[in-house]
Amino acid sequence: MINENSKPVSKSDDAAKDFLRLSLGDDFTRGFDVDSVYCEVQGDKVRWTLIEFLKCDTVAPEHSHPRRYWNGKTSNSRKFLSLWALCRSLQKDGVDARLLLVNYRDEKCMVKLMEVVNATEAAISTSDRVLTFDAWRKWFREFNATKVGATWDVLRLMSPPGR
């Protein structure tokens, strides 16, 4: 039996980004990373939650929004479009999937939790909640603790190819 608990998050998790930078040098990457991926399995139902954490340096989290940087051409909008494309691809295959964006600041005062409703090259729309850091922490810890099933349980729901 596989232990259902993942390892705690650590500083070494940034090592992959360092390795990627070293490997690509000055080349542009054609891929993108996802900060956190959760999969819940209940019976034959699967739900994927993709989470992207967005550190706010110049604007308070409660006032920042991806549309501030939106023109469909900047690397910021391309990243969000790529995340949304992943989410929509899962949905197209009949899987319940959602994309959450989380604005935060080092001062850990306010957090803005945004669920993406739609994203196109022209615009992005979200459903937003502004929380204190303590309220966010409580919500996120509860979300993490109540995740149902192990991510790899989704494999048992898949038929082998050709069947």
State pLDDT tens for residues 14-45. 777 788 888 988 888 777 888 999 988 877 78
Q: Is 55 domain-assigned? A: yes
Residue 1's pLDDT is: 45
Mean pLDDT of the chain: 84
Q: Is 115 domain-assigned? A: yes
Q: Is 98 domain-assigned? A: yes
Relative to beta strand 96-104, strand 45-55 is: parallel
73 is written with which tokens?
Answer: 């051409």
Domain extent, residue 136, equals: 47-152
Q: Do the Cβ atoms of 114 and 128 come closer than 8 Å? A: yes
Q: Is 135 domain-assigned? A: yes
Q: Is 161 domain-assigned? A: no
Is residue 2 over pLDDT 50?
Answer: no
Total-model pTM: 0.83
157 is written with which tokens?
Answer: 């729901």
Q: Do the Cβ atoms of 101 and 54 come closer than 8 Å? A: yes
Q: Is 25 domain-assigned? A: no
Q: Is 18 domain-assigned? A: no
pLDDT, average across residues 61-74: 78
Give how many domains the chain has, as a whole number: 1
Instruction: Return the SS3 of 137.
Output: helix
pLDDT, average across residues 91-104: 94
Q: Do the Cβ atoms of 88 and 98 come closer than 8 Å? A: no
Residue 7's pLDDT is: 53
Cα 55 from Cα 69, distance rounded (Å): 14
Residue 160's pLDDT is: 61
pLDDT, average across residues 104-128: 93
